[in-house]
């Protein structure tokens, strides 16, 4: 039975190995052990019978935006629902922090579409673009798809909040 939990420092080497399996072909950005140690509090792991089978992280930009990143499952354990459980755990974490918008960038939009995610406009995510993307070698030729889960884009939410404030 797959369950999720917050990652701890002893998990870092296993997280690194899982991410490394997907960074060689460009599916995920490579992460160093030092970077993972520094950011372990962002990670959730999926376990099956005590073995870590997947990982994912929630990067907070502020209460207005968080990004789900580094979702990866051991290839031998795909189909157990670990990916879905990781995403659900990270969305719950975003809710705990009262984040108003969550985004992600992916090369496998079909997986996230099945979970209720929809396409996003990059222009709605300036914090992500100008903090992270500008440093990427593929910045001008990015093949990742931006998506939102069951939430409004920052622009839509801001407009709706403004309408509520002026109406009341």
* pLDDT of 133 above 90: no
Over residues 99-109, the pLDDT tens digits come to 988 988 888 89
Residue 127 pLDDT: 57
| E runs forming strands in the chain | 2-6, 43-48, 51-62, 65-73, 102-106, 117-119, 145-149
Tell me which of 132 and 89 has the higher pLDDT. 89
Collect contacts of 158-163 with beta carbons under 8 A, ≥24 apart: none
pLDDT category, 9, cuts 50, 70, 90? very high
Note the pTM of the prediction, 2 decimals: 0.81
Which token pair is 162? 């403004």
């Amino acid at each position: 039975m797959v369950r999720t939990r917050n990652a701890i420092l002893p998990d870092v080497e296993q997280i690194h190995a899982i991410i490394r399996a997907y960074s060689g072909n460009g599916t995920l950005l490579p992460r160093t052990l030092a970077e993972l140690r520094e950011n372990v509090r962002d990670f959730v792991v999926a376990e099956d019978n005590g073995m870590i089978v997947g990982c994912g992280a929630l990067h907070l930009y502020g209460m207005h935006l968080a990004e789900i990143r580094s979702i990866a499952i051991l290839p031998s354990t795909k189909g157990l629902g670990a990916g879905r459980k990781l995403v659900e755990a990270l969305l719950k974490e975003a809710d705990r922090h009262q984040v108003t918008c969550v985004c992600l960038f992916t090369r496998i939009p079909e997986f996230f579409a099945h979970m209720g995610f929809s396409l996003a406009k990059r222009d709605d995510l300036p914090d992500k673009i100008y903090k992270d993307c500008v440093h990427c070698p593929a910045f001008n030729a990015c093949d990742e798809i931006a998506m939102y889960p069951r939430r409004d884009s920052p622009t839509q939410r801001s407009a709706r909040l403004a309408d509520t404030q002026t109406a009341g």
